[in-house]
Amino acid sequence: MTPGIIAAGRQDTAAAGAAMLEAGGNAVDAAVAAAFASFVAEPSLVSLGGGGYALLHRAGSGRPRVYDFFCAFPGLDGAPPAHLDFKAVYADFGTARQEFHIGRGSVAVPGNAAGLCRLHADAGRLPLATVLEPAIDLAQRGLPLGPFNALVGGILAPIVGDTPEVAALFGAPDHFLDAAHVHRNPDLAATLAALGREGPDLLYRGDIAKRILADQRDQGGLLTAADLASYEVLVREPLHRRYRGFDVFTNSSPSRGGALIAFSLALLEAYGPNAQPPGSARRLRLLAEVMRQTNLARPALEQEGDAQRFLAADFVAVHARELAQRLSKDAGRSESDPPAPRTPNHTSHISVLDGEGTVVSLTTTAGEGAGFVVPGTGIILNNILGEADLHPQGFHRGVPGARIGSMMAPTLVLANDQPVLALGSGGSNRLRTAILQVLLNILDHGLDPPTAVAAPRCHFEEGVLQVEAAPLRPRAVGWLRRWGYEVVSWPDRHMYFGGVHTVGHDHEGLAGAGDPRRSGALVQVRESPG
């Protein structure tokens, strides 16, 4: 048994990872097992057919490493089909409708199987087949869809109901998106069992690859044999930022979220951590203006794609001066507030820390899903090519083989090479501000992880300050409005503000929290007495 702690997007996901710790595995075994289990337990958010990132640190190993297994543009050694299966659908978010595109032509090269297996091969301890057992068991016996999957599925009903095969996984025809529906995926169980025997080549060169490619060829997709066979997991240095004496490591380019978090931390360094109490009007204003200033700086990152130049001291200093000037006067709406590019909202995160000092922060997504199941595999592929905001130059114009941009930002905090915190979030543009606020709650204000995660959040975008659980702080909201802010008050905590699942240490030992906004769960494995 290996003592440790895991936070994830559902109890069954976290339990799968905890089972690996109980079997003597390490944090990597636990994170990989939980990720595969999430493809069954959280089917409205993630899928084996998506992609992601992991940030790994082992005590005494030097800097953490980023494992980039996000999706890539397809089309290597191929020609576009005569008819591209690519259509628009609209998801209803209550306050707005958003257009997505689904179908075979929305599928980017998936990376989850390659990335998770590479991470496990590099740093896991248990056999891959053992690590896959919890996910296989869940897929075979099934589990209730649950309220959160049903809620998200309802938003995505035009996608998860687009074909009979996907709709059946979500309970159609009689119990479509019923939280009590027992979600089973025996074809996926068989795929995972074969993966345990054959390794990731199964999905990139083997039988499953052939099924994916046949479906793409026959139904108007873009994936080619060369796309799958040449896909590589990239292992590289993370972004690093010193903040209040801690070492903060986060995701690096081509993902944007880590650089934006690091930029916000750089701006905040000049403001004392205790100058404004958490939740006060002045603290909310500081956070809003830091978010605004980061948004104003963001075009330089988007245009150049160079995180190091974006975080250079002279560039940060220019924006720090602008921030100080803005804080010295009333707020109001700035004509320069830019529209923010959107990124996939349907994402899940896993954080694991074991008693040996190995820590993993891992985020995956499948976009909203492409709306079909690859026949005989149980795999719902991603629709990353159908996210308009990921492709500002237009759909299907990327360079085949190149990584697609993302906001995902798995993050680690170390002190003297020892893990202090692992965290990450889903939530499109809000995931970076959600991660930032939990970091500040812990590093600036000394809150324990459950309190830090549960604390109400804010998010500033396009001149509007969104304030969560506003009735809990009416005086602060009143002052913000008097100072000139356009404030949208949310009555309670909401999934809009992300889902930060975090683990780390407090004064009593291992600690963590699964974010209740997104059905989060926490499981701790304790060392047996005696």
Mean pLDDT to the nearest integer, 365-375: 96
Question: What pLDDT shows up at residue 529?
Answer: 62
- pLDDT tens for 300-313 read 998 877 898 999 99
Half-sphere exposure of 232 (CA within 13 A, CB side): 6
Mean pLDDT to the nearest integer, 505-516: 89
User: Which one of the listed residues 130, 224, 250, 347 is annotated catalytic?
Assistant: 347
pLDDT higher for 471 or 360? Answer: 360
Smallest Cα–Cα separation from 98: which of 363, 405, 428, 395? Answer: 428
Cβ neighbors of 439 (< 8 A, separation 6 or more) are 243, 248, 261, 265, 411, 413, 421, 423
Question: What pLDDT shows up at residue 334?
Answer: 56
Question: What pLDDT shows up at residue 337?
Answer: 65
Question: What pLDDT shows up at residue 72?
Answer: 97
Measured in residues, the chain has a length of: 530
Instruction: Tell me the two tokens of residue 250.
Output: 């986060």
Whether 527 has a pLDDT exceeding 90, the answer reads: no
Please state the domain extents for the chain: 8-234+358-390, 236-342+410-525
Question: What pLDDT shows up at residue 329?
Answer: 80
- pLDDT tens for 120-131 read 999 999 999 999
How many CB atoms neighbour CB 299 within 10 A?
Answer: 11
- pLDDT tens for 230-282 read 999 999 999 999 999 999 999 998 889 999 999 999 999 999 877 677 888 99
The Cα angle at residue 443 between residues 437 and 446, in degrees rounded to 5 = 100
99, exposed or middle or buried, with CB in 10 Å at 0-12, 13-18, 19+?
A: exposed
Question: What pLDDT shows up at residue 506?
Answer: 79
Q: Give the pLDDT band (50/70/90) at residue 462.
A: confident
Q: Give the pLDDT band (50/70/90) at residue 333.
A: low
Q: Give the pLDDT band (50/70/90) at residue 336.
A: low
pLDDT higher for 292 or 305? Answer: 292
3-state secondary structure of 526: coil
What is the C-alpha separation between 427 and 341, in angstroms, rounded? 13
Question: What pLDDT shows up at residue 471?
Answer: 79
Peptide bond into 173 cis (omega under 30): yes
**Domain topology for 236-342+410-525:** Glutamine Phosphoribosylpyrophosphate, subunit 1, domain 1 (3.60.20)
Question: What pLDDT shows up at residue 394?
Answer: 81
Report the mean per-residue pLDDT for the chain: 92
Is 250 an active-site residue?
no
Cβ neighbors of 214 (< 8 A, separation 6 or more) are none
Q: Give the pLDDT band (50/70/90) at residue 435.
A: very high
Question: What pLDDT shows up at residue 512?
Answer: 96
Question: What pLDDT shows up at residue 339?
Answer: 60
Mean pLDDT to the nearest integer, 70-83: 93
3-state secondary structure 283-308: HHHHHHHHHHHHHHHHHHHHHHCCHH
